[in-house]
Amino acid sequence: MFGYGRKHFTWDGTLRELEGSYPAFCTERSRPSMTASPSSSSGLEVLLSSLQNVGDVESTLNILNVLDELLSAGTDRRIHYMIRKGGSEALLTALVNTGCSFSPNYTILLPLLHLLAKVGHRDRRIGMKAEDAGAVQLTLKLLKHNVNHPRRAAACLWVIQVFSTSVSTANLIGENQGLDVIYHLIPQYTTKHLHTVKASINAFAALLCTKVNVYSVVSKGYISGLLKLYEDWHSKDTQHVAVAIRHALLGCLHKVTHSTAARHALVSQGGIRLLHQTTQTCLLSKVLESLVEPSVQLMRKCLPKTPLLLTSDQSAYSFPLPGRPHALPDMHVPSDESNEESDDEVSEDNQEKDYDDDYETDLNKLRLRPDPDRPKELLPQYSRLCPELSHDFEELDLSSEPEETSTSSSSSDEDSVLLSSCLPRSSRRDRRRSTAGSESSTSSSHSETETSTEGHTPGCSLTGSGLLVTNPTPAAFAVEAMACRHHPVSSCHEIQSFDSDFLVMITSWRFSSQTLSLSPAAARLEARDFHSHSSILSTSTGLRSKVREARGEASPGQTEDGQDDEEEGAEESHHHTMIDRLLERHGACVPHHEPKMYRAAAAKTKSIPGFSILAFPDFWGHLPPPGHESMAPRKPNIQRQKVFEDVQRFLNTDDIINQVVFDLEDSSLEAPSDRPDSLRFFSKFECGNLRKAIQVRRYEYDLILNADANCSQHPQWFYFEVSNMVADIPYRFNVINCEKSNSQFNYGMQPVLYSVREALEGRPHWVRTGTEICYFRNHFCPAHGRRRTTFYTLTFTITFKHNEDVCYLAYHYPYTYSAVKAHLNVLQKSVDPAKVFFQKQILCCTLAGNSCPVVTITACPASRGWKDLHQLRNRPYIVLTGRVHPGESNASWVMKGTLEFLCSSDPVAQSLREAFVFKIIPMLNPDGVINGTNRCDLNSEDLNRQWCKPDPVLSPTIYHTKGLLYYLNSIGRTPLVFCDYHGHSRKKNVFLYGCSVKETLWQSGSAVDTVGLKEDPGYRTIAKTLDRIAPAFSFNSCNYLVEKSRSATARVVVWREMGVLRSYTMESTYNGCNQGIYKGLQTGTKELQEMGVKFCHSLLSVTKDVYSRILINHIILDHNILDHKSHNCFEDDEPPCVEEIEYSRDCPALNGTDLDSDVNSNMSSTDGEEEGDEGHTGAQQQQGSFGQSQQPSMKSRLVPHLITEASIETLNEKRNTYSGVNITSGHILS
């Protein structure tokens, strides 16, 4: 069980063997003094009791050694068991009893302190216990008496380090000059007693857990001293034998810089420059790699906070809200990042326990349906949105004129009348323009109708309440919005609307009509003429006047008034011709996209700033690039490299330009003549978002995004134009005010780019682009100090292919509101009205006066016979919504795939139309999309948190969508499926979130007995089907949990209040897939649209029609079973980023070293090394062991040289001398 050599004793037995063979280790000399009950005490308790009361040195040492051997032989479980049995208190009592004597016996104190350090390191309450036992000041006293005895001092320092885990204990030590004593124990570079030096640094760092001690350190100038110590050790440790000392000094600096005052002190003392210089040296040696990361983290944390270069944190776009004039949200409200994500995306900042507590465990709330939020008398108004229930299909009898048939209903005619009463009247000149361009717009009578009549002055609008508004302002529209509180289509406001024809100027003063007659090779050189500063896709007469002025021509205002209309008409006709010729020569055939129809739709789009320019990609169209695009590989240590560049920006300002080159609020910077070599930026178009661009270096730009309208939060989405570039030069872009704490940009995602030149050459593609991409926390802060706001930098580098190209960069593939309207018009023209019932209506008008379209798609009946009409009017409903969050453009691409499929001639689509009635609202937040917001509507609220009780004025689209669902529910036509399309910024793949009572109770650990609960498992059917047929779908990423924080989302409210079993949020990744055939690939628009198609296919699994069942089985058989190896839905989707996104609060641990290793290494030294001359030999031995990585070990080395053969013999002689007490089986028996 044990073996011993010349000076070492090793115990190999177990506790039971110890108790049976050596009761002398476990019993006391005096039976009455024992505190443990003989009938219940374990051997360990007897050992601890004996330790507190035993008097002789030899027995105490034996007990300490046995305890150490027992605790070293296994895992930490033994130590925690000892702590539960009062081990910490026993050791502290022994320490006080031994240390309080006039001449303490260090033969006992040293092993006792070492064991106390090992045990106390694992006891979270050791500090409080030490205070109660009176051991704190005693240990500090022992330290003061032994500053010249390195081994004794090291033992005391480790115990002080352990005690300092308690704030009150650390303050107590600081109050008794502990900080000063320990600080002065840290020497300049030396080769002696390195373990003691390291123990001093670690103890000093441990004391810095309190604000009081940190303030004391700062006030005494110790930060400057720590920096000088680090510099001294760094410069003189040429053999790298004291890497752990340097690492410990960095850890000490990390601790102290939790304080703002300490960070300022470090910066003022040149700390960042020192760290930058030493880190550059460390990068040259692999041995010093462990010092690089803590140095980088320390520099990141201490870089001075830099306010954003903005006049206000509020968005550049403001909109007066009805009932709240001039009342904007408080810009000092801290950002609530738990609401930053899509419907069910949980913030990574939330602790796991908070996530578990978020589950809804109230069975009544999970099962009982709450009362409706409005009286039933208001619901019949939504009958107009169900024309399929009343339409008589007279056109089925007009087979001789199929091209002129219409599926209009009386309700849509009623919509037209309502709309015509609230739309602005146009002038004679505007009417002439609209007539000239009428061929490019839809004329179907069941389309969204907007009329223009004579009799009113241009710029006047008649509101639904009869209020005449001349030159309407946003405030007037706020009043008008209140008038339509209960009339969803009674008011469409005119906010700085475009000219009625929205003429697109393809040319500029540099781009004459002769350019169009050039050869294709020559035409390619004119891509620069499409940037927004010169050749503008615009309808603004003012902008065309500026072009004429630049060409030295007279404006119409300088000619006779009678010639104005004729000249403008001729000019517009000229531009129309040029557009037609340009499209004919270079236009790509983009399915379901017509540029002229897009232009017509955009003419009616209303924005806060009054956009008068079209972005070229939106007008021209997009084709998916051939092939797939792989996820971008992450360059090793790329974030570190970018941080170094940012630090150099702070240290060396010689090459820093810091010049604003674009400002959303300053139009004079749009075409700067004094900076011909800088890039030019522009974002004043639909969906655009870039507030300010600052040229930092010649080829580096900081970009500041615009916050959501009417608030100061949620900057994340970006979409802007960039031009005037030089080919083959890497440009670095830094988006510096992102708010989300992590992003798929850290996991292979790239932004997207569209090149005008490439489009003119026949490649109109949005493509993934960018290298050296990373996303990390930065040192910027709000312009006016909004509390608790943390900003993150998205940095990427782009090398453009062409000189003087015009390119567009975006967070993800843009999809505008005008694109939705144009797409619906194209689809309407494409369907056969004799087969497809396609009805486009207006759900309501938004705050800004844009119409929110709702589409009904189903199959026309085979005849007007009663049986066929009855079958149509009894089809189940499927309700689909999307784009409630404007920044989730991927949701619109999925919706595009769904719409196109349902309108197609595919047999599955035909089967779905015959089986269901589809109600589709493609865009729930038109105003947010138009104005380039990321999360909110113009009311500064997340519309997907308004479903419980939506305001009819402030959240009209949600209010009326919920009203439509209430109406369907009231007439017994509750939807079979509801799905809200979303995008997810932090996860890969596509997946569903649903609702389940049982799964929520199971996951929350609720005590509710679920055995008796009955729940239809059909909520999983669609997800299981998608998992088999959709390559991008991940079943294992789905969950069906109901959280309290999501109680006001569409998914939960529709499930709870309308009783829709299959109520979902479908989340689509911005990045790509990590499973299946798309593994390692980024999703493009093709894959997103495919997902929309596959979702339609999955609906066949919930129909009762036999033919549909056959179809879905055929679809599944056509697909190989997909290899989906996705993550568990209750875990984080991604592993921790390879580089720290946040600042590390503490220094990263050094591999191979811990407190146990330090203690054991210190005990391996001999008395001669301390008490002797501490010469070169001992120092070399310490260096040799200290410079190497030490494996964590609990192997006992407390008193190996004190246990001799004589001691064992003496113990054997005393085996049966303790009052006849034998210890067997871990208990004391008489």
Report the catalytic residues: 1067
**Cα 341–chain centre separation:** 7
- Amino acid letter, residue 258: H
Largest distance between two CA atoms of the chain: 129
DSSP three-state, residue 517? helix
Chain centroid, CA 1094 distance in Å: 27
- The token duo for 1037 is 């990423």
Contact 1065, 344 (CB under 8 A): yes
- SS3 category, 1015: coil
- From the number of C-beta atoms within 10 Å of its C-beta (0-12, 13-18, 19+), residue 612 rates as buried
3-state secondary structure of 641: helix
CA 1030 to chain centre: 26
What is the number of other CB atoms lying within 10 angstroms of the CB of residue 973? 17
| 975 Cβ contact list (under 8 Å, min separation 6) | 876, 877, 878, 879, 919, 965, 968, 1054, 1058, 1060
Beta-carbon contacts of 1175 under 8 Å, excluding residues fewer than 6 positions away, are none
Task: Give the C-alpha separation, 1041 to 1044, whole Å.
Answer: 10
Whether 383 and 1031 have beta carbons less than 8 Å apart is answered as no
CA atoms within 13 A on the CB side of 155: 26
Asked if 733 and 795 touch (Cβ cutoff 8 Å), the reply is yes
Classify the phi-psi angles of 55: left when phi > 0, otherwise alpha if psi is within -120 to 50, otherwise beta.
Answer: alpha
One-letter-per-residue 3-state SS of 699-756: CEEEEECCCCCCCCCCCCCCEEEEECCCCCCEEEEEEEEECCCCCHHHHCCCCEEEEH
Contacting residues for 1068 by C-beta, under 8 A, at least 6 apart: 890, 891, 894, 981, 982, 983, 984, 990, 1032, 1083, 1088, 1091
Determine the Cα–Cα distance for residues 305 and 294; give it in Å rounded to an integer: 20
DSSP codes joined into one string, 678-702: S-EEE--STT-B--EEEEEETTEEE
Handedness of CA 1068, 690, 734, 535 (dihedral sign): positive
Q: 116-146: string of b/e by CB count within 10 Å (b at 16+)?
A: bbbbbbbbeebbebbbebebbebbbebbeeb
> Which ranges of 935-1034 does DSSP label H, i.e. alpha helix?
956-970, 997-1004, 1021-1029
Cα dist from 1008 to 156, 997, 1046, whole Å:
53, 11, 21
User: 855: which strand partners?
Assistant: 840, 920
CA 320 – CA 618 distance, rounded (Å): 29
* Closest to 304 in 3D by CA, of 271, 276, 263: 263
Fill in the amino acid letter for 801.
K
Question: If you ran DSSP here, which 8-state letter would residue 802 be given?
Answer: S
Q: For residue 232, what are the contacts with CB-CB under 8 A and spacing of at least 6? A: 188, 189
> 257: buried, middle or exposed (CB in 10 Å: 19+, 13-18, 0-12)?
buried
For strand 468-470 and strand 851-859, is the pairing parallel, antiparallel, or unpaired?
Answer: unpaired
